[in-house]
Amino acid sequence: MILTCVVFSILVATVIPKQQTYTVTGVLQCNGNPATNQLIEMKFTDPLLKGKVTASTSADNKGAFKINGSQKGRAGQTAYLWVEHNCDSKNRNNCHVMTFISIPKKYVGKQYNIGMYELSKHVYYNTCDDEDL
């Protein structure tokens, strides 16, 4: 009976969603210059679903930003920032570049400062790379 209660408690703890709140700050740069007016989205996802936007903000004229987001999350879900920008390391024009910034789980309920973050060095996807093929 005790074993059944323990197993049931563990199952309930992993299935019932818990509120996950994150605050992320930092300064975005593009090739050493402030990445101004860049849209930053906070998303939560799990292995089976596409990311859901829970908050968005834009970098200021110095590239600085602060974003807060929360969602009821289950085990396996992760939080991340998604930045779509034009910061291409090869200085090609008209590129649409995506950057993925993972938020460590240890920052649930805390502030995570990513510091100075160079977008050109952290590219998840770049449309200009498709054109080079």
Average pLDDT over every residue of 46-73: 87
Which domain does 124 fall in, by range? 17-131
Given this model, what pLDDT does residue 3 score? 56
CA distances from 69 to 8, 42, 47, 95, 122 (A): 30, 6, 20, 28, 22
**Whole-prediction pTM:** 0.79
- How many domains in the chain? 1
- Residue 11 maps to a domain: no
Residue 73 or 122, more confident: 122
- pLDDT value of residue 65: 98
Mean pLDDT, range 21-37, rounded to an integer: 95
Q: Cβ contacts of residue 96 below 8 Å, gap of 6+?
A: 84, 86, 126, 127
Beta pairing partners, 79: 44, 103
- Is residue 73 domain-resident? yes
**3-state SS, residue 7:** helix
Domain-located, residue 7: no
pLDDT tens, position by position, 50-62: 778 889 999 999 9
